[in-house]
């Protein structure tokens, strides 16, 4: 079974390009934290350096590279490691710049900046998710994910980059919808590439997404993600992994950062949040679909995990959909 497809279908990612930039060296830009999603950049021409948070480590990006900041952390972009940076709001003189990675802006602002030297073409945007729990899972992968243009097996990634860049620079009728779908595909390809690169590495530890990429854990991922309604025990899951209960629990926590039952509960609530969007399903039906025998037990678990009661979540989700249409 394709577990990753089920996960991606459930977490419902949306994305937008919020910034199109033509930069020329020397240049340096500081970007504030974005609280509502994950920030990303596509380098379509030239090169640049990115520095996340207060870290002094700088990563060089070249044409075709894709980088994502799952936590939307504050960061600096430079044409070379020693360039001075200016706040992006100061460069543009616009108070709205702070929303570039939080709101849909149509069309995306075009930024021309720099000293007239070597050019860099850059696209910036954001991924947003229907639930905070889905975003919290993504953030376990670290402050920055980088997929290089020459990553093995990523020709489709390059094609998506090209299509996205063309739509962003030369919008036609329907471009807003096309860009939204392309950005979703970019996220999927980025996640697949990043996890494949980390397969079996220590760096892959403590990420719930990593469970389905770990040898021997595929049956466990299938059990949890495809059958969250079952009353799984640690012993049953350990048996599927052909491990003792103690060894399994230890290994599971190393991979996902959670105990097996905590991981199961988190996935149940993410799955429930998807089902609650279907107003034809009663809350008791949703509760049973994710393994709860009573509506009250489900409501308590949902509020504890998601910070909101199921009924309120359903109402807020319906209002958000209405506001977008």
CA distances, 304 to each of 148, 208, 230 (Å): 39, 19, 20
Q: Do 220 and 190 share a domain, yes or no?
A: no
pLDDT at 102 over 50: no
Whether 178 and 166 have beta carbons less than 8 Å apart is answered as: no
Q: Give DSSP secondary structure letters for 43-60.
A: EEESEEEEEETT----EE
Report the share of the chain in percent with pLDDT over 90: 35
- Out of 164, 198, 232, a domain closes at 198
41, containing H or E segment:
strand 38-45
Domain that holds residue 23: 3-198
Q: Which of 91-100, 119-128, 257-266 has the lowest mean pLDDT?
A: 91-100
Q: Are 304 and 289 in contact (CB under 8 A)?
A: no
Give the domain-ending residue among 148, 167, 198: 198
DSSP H helical ranges for the chain: 3-11, 88-92, 132-139, 155-169, 175-198, 218-226, 234-240, 245-256, 260-275, 283-289, 295-306, 310-324
Alpha-carbon torsion (85, 90, 91, 94), positive or negative: positive
Angle ∠(36,171,75) on CA atoms, nearest 5? 35
Does one domain contain both 103 and 231? Answer: no
**Cβ–Cβ < 8 Å for 63, 44:** yes
For residue 75, say if its preceding peptide bond is cis, omega within 30 degrees of 0.
no
- CATH of residue 90's domain is 2.60.120.280
Together in a domain, 254 and 305 = yes
Domain boundary among 176, 198, 220: 198
Q: What is the CATH number of the domain that holds 279?
A: 1.10.10.60
Helix (H, G, I), strand (E, B) or coil at 107: coil
β-strand 86-87 against 75-78: which pairing, if any? unpaired
pTM score: 0.72
CA 271 – CA 302 distance, rounded (Å): 11
Residue 288 has pLDDT above 60, yes or no: yes
Strands 75-78 and 47-52, sheet pairing: antiparallel
Instruction: Note the residue count of the chain.
Output: 325
Instruction: Specify if 132 maps to a domain.
Output: yes
> 23 phi and psi, to 5 degrees?
-115, 150
Q: Which of 11-15, 105-109, 299-303 reaches the highest mean pLDDT?
A: 299-303
Per-position DSSP letters for 132-170, written without gaps between them: HHHHHHHHTT-S-EEE-TT-TT-HHHHHHHHHHHHHHHS
The model's pLDDT over 156-213, given as tens digits with 9 standing for 90+, comes to: 566 776 777 677 677 777 777 777 788 788 888 777 777 666 555 544 445 667 777 7
Decide: residue 157, CB within 10 A, 0-12 exposed, 13-18 middle, 19+ buried. Answer: buried
Contact 193, 146 (CB under 8 A): no
User: Is the pLDDT reported for residue 269 higher than 80?
Assistant: yes
Which H or E run contains 113? strand 110-114
Q: Is residue 66 part of a domain?
A: yes
Secondary structure class of 93 (helix, strand, coil) = coil
């Amino acid at each position: 079974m394709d577990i990753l497809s089920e996960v991606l279908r459930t977490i419902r990612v949306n994305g937008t390009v919020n910034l199109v930039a033509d930069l020329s060296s020397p240049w340096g830009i500081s970007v504030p934290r974005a609280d509502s999603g994950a920030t990303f950049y596509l380098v379509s021409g030239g090169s640049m350096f990115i520095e996340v948070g207060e870290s002094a480590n700088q990563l060089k990006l070249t044409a075709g590279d894709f980088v994502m900041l799952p936590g939307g952390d504050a960061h600096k972009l430079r044409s070379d490691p020693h360039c001075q940076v200016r706040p992006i709001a100061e460069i543009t003189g616009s108070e709205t710049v702070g929303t570039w990675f939080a709101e849909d802006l149509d069309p995306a602002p075009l930024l021309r900046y720099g000293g007239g030297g070597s050019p860099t073409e850059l696209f910036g945007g954001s991924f947003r998710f229907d639930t905070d729990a889905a975003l919290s899972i993504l953030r376990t992968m670290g402050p920055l994910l980088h997929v290089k243009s020459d990553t093995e097996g990523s020709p489709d990634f390059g094609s998506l980059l090209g299509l996205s860049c063309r739509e962003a620079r030369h919008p036609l009728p329907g471009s807003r919808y096309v860009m939204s779908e392309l950005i979703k595909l970019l996220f999927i390809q980025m996640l697949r590439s990043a996890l494949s690169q980390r397969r079996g590495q220590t760096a892959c530890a403590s990420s719930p997404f990593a469970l389905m990429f770990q040898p021997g854990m595929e049956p466990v991922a299938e059990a949890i993600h495809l059958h969250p309604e079952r009353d799984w025990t640690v012993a049953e899951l350990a048996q599927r992994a052909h491990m003792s209960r103690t060894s399994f629990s230890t290994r599971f926590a190393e991979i996902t950062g959670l105990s097996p039952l905590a991981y199961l509960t988190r996935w149940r609530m993410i799955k429930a949040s998807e089902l609650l969007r279907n107003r034809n399903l009663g809350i008791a039906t949703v509760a049973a679909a994710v393994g709860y025998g009573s509506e009250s037990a489900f409501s308590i678990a949902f509020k504890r995990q998601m910070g909101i009661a199921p009924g309120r979540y359903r109402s807020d989700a319906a209002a958000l959909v209405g506001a977008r249409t």
